[in-house]
Amino acid sequence: MEIKKLEAVIEAILFTMGESVELERLAYAIEQDKETTKKLVYNLIQKYESDNRGLKIIELDGAFQMCTKSDYYEYLIRIAKEPKRHVLTDVLLETLSIIAYKQPITKMEIEKIRGVSSDHAVNKLIEYNLVVELGRLDAPGRPLLFGTTEEFLRSFGVHSLEDLPTLNSEQLEEFKVQAEEEIQLKLDV
């Protein structure tokens, strides 16, 4: 098959699926090896970018998805009903960051880090499709394990968990001091 036709097939698959498609599945569909398929997808990404199209192809942890460029969101809402925007409170963001950095993690481990019950926060994050149950820990009571989803990657604009920012030792020490001060304030009250 010629390159243009292979690109058109990839484009059709990504458009039709509406969600991310793993490189292996794309390669299987177009009957090419993974390296060739990856080059074709990257070529499409470049074409969409250079042609200044309303769509783009993004990479999410070894998978690819076609989506609308955020630059054109304001035009979309003129036609479509504005989608419900999920508000991530400080509690939800704190819980989500713990899950993102420590996954797979149990609710009890989250609560140990936060120092308070996290049932509501974890349930909201599941409802927003940012967190998912990954299975159960092989331990007494078989607690559920939680981790982040592709929607998390998409929402925060990262390609994989390795792209999450890391904290240096000075920032960690500063956070520890702030946490100790908060605890002391609570004890004084």
Domains delineated in the chain: 3-78 (1.10.10.10), 90-188 (1.10.10.10)
Query: Which whole number is the average pLDDT over 49-70?
Result: 89
CA distance 150 to 60: 7
Question: What does each C-alpha distance from 99 to 15, 30, 63, 107, 153 come to in angstroms?
Answer: 31, 36, 22, 9, 13
Taking residues 67-85, report their average pLDDT.
Answer: 78
| The pLDDT of residue 6 | 92
172 pLDDT tier (thresholds 50, 70, 90): low
Distance CA 6, CA 14 (A): 12
**87/34: higher pLDDT:** 34
Mean pLDDT along residues 77-82: 72
Give the C-alpha separation, 83 to 177, whole Å. 40
Residue 159 pLDDT: 86
The pLDDT confidence band at residue 83, using thresholds 50, 70 and 90, is low
Place of tokens 């792209």: 163
Q: What is the per-residue pLDDT across 126-156, written as a single tens digit (0 to 9) for each?
A: 999 999 999 998 888 899 999 999 989 888 8
The b-or-e profile of 99-112 (16+ CB within 10 A means b, else e) is: bbeeeebbbebbbe
In this predicted structure, what is the pLDDT of residue 32?
92
| pLDDT at residue number 51 | 87
- Tell me: the pLDDT tens digits for 99-117? 998 999 999 999 988 888 8
Cis before 165 (ω within 30): no
User: Residues 27, 34: contact at Cβ < 8 Å?
Assistant: yes
Q: For residue 91, is pLDDT > 80?
A: yes
Q: Residue 84: pLDDT band by 50, 70, 90 thresholds? A: low
Strands (E), the chain: 21-22, 55-60, 63-68, 105-106, 131-136, 144-148
Mean pLDDT of the chain: 86
C-alpha–C-alpha distance, residues 82 and 76, integer Å = 8
